[in-house]
């Protein structure tokens, strides 16, 4: 009887030790996957931001026109792809067609890209573009200005929080 209790106690002790080790390994794996996802998200987000920042300020400036009056820029409610651009770039964009077909910053307003990686699978990249006040860069306005805020948001199932990247595109009319 005593031997049976000793064996039972040893099995319980071994089982709880194995359970503790498994929990530790799972926690460590989750932490590694989240870190890998976060690093990949930073890379994808910065690549998206770099792509956007290579475009013209507005459709009118993409055509080579110098603009002295900001009311000539795209109206706030019309920010996003227009005309043929809408049909040429499916959303979500699986292959980065935006770089080829979008010609100005606000074409990326409402843009969604599915970025696939070999190890972690799919990431979602969402963009928004809006005008901000010239006196306070943190205030979104409902009229045209020479300042557009760009927000890139990257999400992935292994990340607890979405990654947000912000930048400001300034139309320099005097140089």
81-122 confidence digits (pLDDT tens): 988 888 899 999 998 999 999 999 999 999 999 999 998 999
Evaluate if pTM is beyond 0.85: no
Helix residue ranges, H only, 54-113: 59-62, 84-88, 98-101
114-166 confidence digits (pLDDT tens): 999 998 999 999 999 999 999 999 999 999 999 999 999 999 998 999 999 99
Residue % of the chain over a pLDDT of 90: 67
Measuring CA to CA, which residue among 76, 67, 58 is closest to residue 144? 76
**Sequence spans of domains, the chain:** 2-170
């Amino acid at each position: 009887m005593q031997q049976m209790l000793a064996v039972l106690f040893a099995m319980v002790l071994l089982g709880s030790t194995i359970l503790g080790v498994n929990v530790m390994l799972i926690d460590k794996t989750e932490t590694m996957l989240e870190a890998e996802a976060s690093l990949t998200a930073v890379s994808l987000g910065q690549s998206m931001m770099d792509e956007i920042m290579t475009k013209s300020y507005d459709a009118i400036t993409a055509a080579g026109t110098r603009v002295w009056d900001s009311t000539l820029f795209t109206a706030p409610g019309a920010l996003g792809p227009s005309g043929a651009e809408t049909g040429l770039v499916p959303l979500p964009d699986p292959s980065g067609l935006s770089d080829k077909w979008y010609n100005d910053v606000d074409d990326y307003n409402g843009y969604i890209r599915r970025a696939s990686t070999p190890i972690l699978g799919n990431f979602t990249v969402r963009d928004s573009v809006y005008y901000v006040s010239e006196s306070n860069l943190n205030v979104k306005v409902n009229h045209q200005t020479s300042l557009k805020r760009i927000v890139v948001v990257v999400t992935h199932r292994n990340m607890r929080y979405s990654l947000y990247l912000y930048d400001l595109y300034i139309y320099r009319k005097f140089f």
